[in-house]
Amino acid sequence: MEANNIDSFQLALNPGGLMVLNLVIGFMMFGMALDLKVADFKRILLAPKAPLIGLVAQFFILPALTFFLTLFLSAPPSVLLGMILVAACPGGNLSNLMTYLARGNTAVSISMTAISSSAAVIMTPFNVAFWGSLNPKTAPILRAVSLDPSDVFKTVFLILGIPLVVGVLVSSHWPNIVEKIRQPFKMLSVLVFLSVVLLALVANGAIFFKALGMIMGIVFLHNATALSTGYFSAKIARLPIADVRAVTIEVGIQNVALGLILIFNFFDGLGGMAITAGWWGIWHIIVGLTLAAFWSRRDRSTK
């Protein structure tokens, strides 16, 4: 696909499919929240250094570095805006599992997930609007869709904020029930989500694979930037190795499911944005599991 054509097409997802996708993301967030407890939020007050370093890297350093990347990359505007949107998302749902497999500090990862998912209600719409409007290539897209950060706030609140609060309350008050439903619920929601996304890709398969060659290198560079941001932020702060691993994975694994929801809700599935976020969702799992496998074979006293 010609680079100048990627901005002119949209990935199709009918209104019914979009509603299902919104509901599935909400259920995925609820399933993730079943792993959280009020104590995970309180832990940050007792040992705030690692989670706060991670959150600064997640919501301030990574979006800023992504913005500078978009200034120098020769890519269509919709791809650049897709990068900014992905960078504005909180940590992904699989980050806690990957941290555990990497022999990182799972408690730090869980705390970061809890706080970043809460902060995303404000920080995600802010970062998309702020950094996207500063880039002369991406700003026209935001103006064309008349993106209102308050509308994005409402959407993120509905599909992240409410399920998070409900999940934490259920986990705290009915732990016995949660132990029985946690894993089946999470597996079912992920399977349904993948099914919806696969149906969208099948409907747009020719477009997706034609553009993939151009997107792969960009996503590789962007994801490497995200992982490096987490790693070096933690190293500069002189965090223990287990915390470094947790922060690295948390910053490098983004909640692209949320990104896709925003793309379909507010940008009508704009081609470059949707394909960038879609490939990010595949690539960060590959890299995250590879990194976890590498670190799992190394002692915590080493890098």
Q: Could you state, in order of their start, the residue ranges of all structural domains in the chain? A: 3-296
CA distance 171 to 30: 10
- pLDDT the model gives residue 133: 94
Give, as one character, the DSSP assignment of residue 157. Answer: I
> What is the SS3 assignment for 34?
coil
pLDDT in the model for residue 48: 81
The token pair that represents 301 in the structure block: 């006293």
Is residue 163 within 8 Å of residue 33, measured between CB atoms? Answer: yes
Task: Determine the pLDDT at residue 171.
Answer: 78
pLDDT at 3 over 60: no
Determine the pLDDT at residue 266: 83
Task: Report, as an integer, the average pLDDT of 9-26.
Answer: 65
Per-residue pLDDT, 60: 96
Asked whether 167 and 36 are in contact (CB, 8 A), the reply is yes
DSSP three-state, residue 10: strand
Tell me the backbone φ, ψ of residue 298, rounded to 5 degrees. Answer: -115, 140
Alpha carbon distance 287, 264 (integer Å): 26
pLDDT in tens, 167-203: 778 877 787 777 777 777 767 766 766 666 666 666 6
Calculate mean pLDDT across residues 97-117.
83
**Region of residue 36 (phi > 0: left; psi between -120 and 50: alpha; otherwise: beta):** beta
Residue with tokens 């509603």: 19
Mean pLDDT of 16-26: 69
Spatial contact of 82 and 274, defined as CB atoms under 8 Å apart:
yes
Question: What DSSP state is assigned to residue 270?
Answer: B
Whether 40 contacts 219, CB under 8 Å: no
Whole-model pTM: value is: 0.84
At 138, the pLDDT band (50, 70, 90 cuts) reads very high
Angle between helices 77-88 and 271-296 (to 10 degrees): 50
Among the residue ranges 140-149, 223-232, 248-257, the one predicted with the least confidence is 140-149
CATH 1.20.1530.20 applies to domain 3-296: yes
Band (220; pLDDT cuts 50, 70, 90): very high
Instruction: Give the ranges where the chain is alpha helix by DSSP (H).
Output: 15-33, 38-46, 49-56, 62-72, 77-88, 95-101, 106-134, 139-145, 149-156, 162-173, 175-203, 205-236, 241-252, 256-266, 271-296
Residues 113-126: pLDDT tens digits?
878 888 888 899 99
Q: Of 9, 88, 80, give the one whose Cα is nearest residue 269.
A: 9
Looking at residue 1, its pLDDT comes to 46
Q: pLDDT tens for residues 45-97?
A: 777 888 899 999 999 999 999 999 999 998 899 999 999 999 999 887 678 77
Give the whole-number percent of the chain exceeding pLDDT 90: 31
SS3 300: coil
Structure confidence by residue, pLDDT tens digits, 267-303: 877 778 888 888 888 888 889 889 999 998 876 655 5
Give the pLDDT score at 121. Answer: 85
The better pLDDT of the pair 64, 158 is held by 64
Asked if pLDDT for residue 204 goes beyond 80, the answer is no
